[in-house]
Chains A and B, each alone.
Chain A
Amino acid sequence: MSRPHLLLPFAMLLPSLALVIWIMGYPVTDLMRMSVHAVNRFGQAGNFVGALNFSKLFADPLFWASFRRTVIWTVCVTSGTILISIPVALVLSQDFAGRSVARLIVLLPWAVSATMTGIVWRWTLNGQFGMLNALLLQFGLTDQPIEFLATGEVAFPVAILIGILAAVPLTVIIFLGAFSSLPGDVFDAARIDGAGPLNTFRYMTLPLIRPFVNIAIVLNVIYAFNSFAIIWILTQGGPANSTDILVTYLYKVAFQYGKMAEASAMSLMMFAFLLVFCILYARFAMRERAL
């Protein structure tokens, strides 16, 4: 009697499992195969070379520089996004006139692709014809146009700000969901007990939305780590590789230099890195709450 009940959930999982294996499994095994072979520009695999592609990569200073920058980029974009999104969502969850319009304005950019965001900002930031420089000059804040994208020291922080801007809408949606799920009676009780807004936020709201923060962190880390369009469109990783992150460098290695095998090795490592991060995060941060 009990057997069909035991098997049924697994049977129902089977189709989606098959789909995941088909969509994810094939490219990953293909990447693994390519990463240990010599592969020409036409994707044709040659001799087995073992770990050679990986050791070439480890010896490449640009790979390590991109890796370091990817960590900075991911940490800054993720933390910046969450720090901005929580207060924005908090405001948008209050009842005020025009709330739906305000929500729409905050969420609309989500409908714009990262590519378009990048192109718009590239034009806005242009030193000679850009809107931002026109404004700065007009208000007398600068007497010379600023070339925002001409040096890595300026371009990279600017790219991070744009990355945050692009990630905020989705994160706001997550937190809007979080705030609407908060139990109202507990907060009423707290108010009666005399808790001020700061204490309420610190000791009640934050702990209650903790699982949502965790989800937002994982989603944003994955998004930022793999986000290609913004940096590629703004600077193509330049000048002199000073804004390259792993995905932009990966694109160059694969499609400009035609080194498919090294590129496969690199994407495998990125995949492993993200996988390990997500598993560890799920184990530590998310389990903590369950206890």
Chain B
Amino acid sequence: MKRISRLSLLGISALAMSIAAMPAFAKTQLHVIVAHFSDHTLTTFQNAAKRFEAAHPDVEINIEDVSWDNLQQRLATDIAGGTAPDISVIATRWVLDYVQNDIAEPLDAYIKPEFRSRFYENLLKPGTVDGKTYLLPILASTRALYYNKDLYAKAGVTDIPKTWDELKAVSEKVKAKGDGAYGFGIQGKEIETDTYWYYPFWSYGGDIVKDGKSGIAGEAGVQAANLYKSFIDGGLSQPSPTGSNRQDIETLFKQGRLGALVTGPWLRGQIASEAPKLNYGIAPMPSATKQLTWGGTDSMMLFKSSPNKELAWQFIQDGIFSTETRLEFTLSEGFLPVLKEEMNDSRLANDASLKAFADMLPIAQFAPLMPQWEQVVAATTAALQQIYLGQQDAKTALGAAATQIDGLIAPQ
């Protein structure tokens, strides 16, 4: 069934493309796919294309936006059918698949030093495979601690927690005086359950992969898991976290029933529109022996199959990564900038809550690149859920998951 609908889709899109191509006979075509971040995404990139076309009258750029849910499958279909675009947005963690199947074009030959120096250097790392740069980040996000100022005031908390131990002490106070509010939200269900645990895991000095093996069952892993378990057992988190996904704990926070939680910059926009009266603050990620935060990027990729790679690169460099386009994108989407020069803009520099996230870019850590990443996530998540449910202790559950992950990492 899937194959048939793919075939007919291909047919229709081929037809549409040939019709679209007719009037523009002499012009060189570039096909760019962007992910649908918001209703403004397409406009941002179309504006960039218009400016580029004005400077290069012999070029015509088609921008198409595709929803995140469909993007991976859409690109896979296009690649299999030989109709891949010239440039596309992809989720950075997909990069290995595209490199291993020889689909992504390495960019080092194109990138000039002065272009490279405009980026926050650590944001280029996740798109680098075997020393070659394959992806350029178009957005970044970090995670920080949101806390409810009213609840903290009611509980007599004056100092915002800087460490996980302080957060636990503060959560005790919120539990005692918060009229049924929970101290700290813990996510235990669905996408990013593992991420939520990497926050303390990294703080205790853990590494997801160390020396080619899983590092989650080390001392840092056990400490981090026991920390969350002590929140759960002590009634300092919402009860039964395995029933709460990210949206659930964010909703609790918006309702004013949660003292604190860790999440990304998007919650600011949601609070502004759904709970404008909520009195909250944003603080850096709590620390233990280290202070680190989760960093994520989405990226631009140049396809090896593109017949006009030089031109496509020109558009990437002068169109997509022009200061003007970058500012329009960052301001309208609410993510963090990837170019240092963007923070010179007063609208970004004066946004205190955005700055709280941007300040953590230098300490942002990224998920390691590995081909079986989604299975590593599944194994880690299952182990954490067993710990949170009290079915297994931290050492046993994480140990079993680490053995499983070692089998996934080992060359097959």
A interface vs B, CB < 8 Å? Answer: 23, 26-27, 30, 40-44, 126-129, 144-145, 147-151, 235-236, 238-241, 252, 255-258
Contacts and interface: CB of A to CB of B under 8 A. Distances in A.
Given A42-B97, A257-B375, 4 more contacts: A30-B3, A238-B189, A238-B381, A239-B188
Interface residues of B, number: 39
Given A40-B101, A127-B239, A147-B243, A239 B389 contact: yes
Contacts of A43: 76-77, 80
Interface in B249-268: 251-252, 257
A127 B243 contact: yes
Sorted nearest first, the 3 A-B pairs with minimum C-beta distance are A150-B243, A147-B240, A147-B243
Contact of A144 (B4, B100, B239): B239
Contacts of B389: 150-151, 239-240
A40 B385 contact: no
A256 B101 contact: no
A20 B383 CA distance: 44
A150 B251 contact: no
18 contacts: A26-B4, A27-B1, A27-B2, A42-B79, A42-B103, A43-B77, A44-B80, A144-B239, A147-B240, A147-B242, A151-B242, A236-B190, A238-B189, A238-B242, A238-B385, A239-B382, A239-B388, A255-B73
B378 A256 contact: yes
Contacts of A26: 3-4
Nearest to A125: B243
A42 B76 contact: yes
A237 to B, nearest CB: 10
A27 B378 contact: no
Nearest to B251: A129
A41 B242 contact: no
Contacts of A235: 189
A236 B189 CA distance: 9
A116 B313 CA distance: 45
B385 A257 contact: no
Contacts of A236: 189-190
Interface of B: 1-4, 73, 76-77, 79-80, 97, 100-101, 103, 188-190, 238-244, 248, 251-252, 257, 372, 374-375, 378, 381-383, 385-386, 388-389, 391
Contacts of B188: 150, 239
B178 to A, nearest CB: 15
B239 A256 contact: no
Contacts of A145: 239
A42 B381 CA distance: 26
B386 A240 contact: yes
A23 B374 contact: no
A239 B239 contact: no
Contacts of B382: 238-241
A111 B188 CA distance: 33
Nearest to B2: A27
Contacts of B386: 239-240
Contact of A148 (B100, B189, B239, B243): B243
Given A238-B189, A241-B382, A151 B76 contact: no
Nearest to B386: A240
B248 A128 contact: yes
A128 B252 contact: yes
Contacts of A240: 381-383, 385-386, 389, 391
Given A27-B2, A257-B374, A128 B101 contact: no
A230 B73 CA distance: 23
B80 A239 contact: no
Nearest to B397: A240
A290 B2 CA distance: 39
A149 B190 CA distance: 12
A174 B391 CA distance: 44
Contact of A239 (B3, B189, B251): B189
Contacts of A42: 76, 79-80, 97, 101, 103
A33 B381 CA distance: 33
A197 B375 CA distance: 58
A58 B73 CA distance: 27
Contact of A126 (B3, B101, B248): B248
B374 A128 contact: no
B22 to A, nearest CB: 30
B393 to A, nearest CB: 14
A238 B191 CA distance: 11
Contacts of A23: 1, 4
B63 to A, nearest CB: 23
Contacts of B374: 256-258
Contacts of A41: 76, 97, 101
Nearest to B190: A236
A263 B252 CA distance: 38
B248 A40 contact: no
A120 to B, nearest CB: 16
A127 B378 contact: no
B97 A40 contact: yes
A102 B181 CA distance: 44
B240 A150 contact: yes
Most chain A CB within a 10 A radius of its CB, from B4, B240, B251, B378: B240
A126 B189 CA distance: 12
A48 to B, nearest CB: 17
A257 B381 CA distance: 14
B216 to A, nearest CB: 15
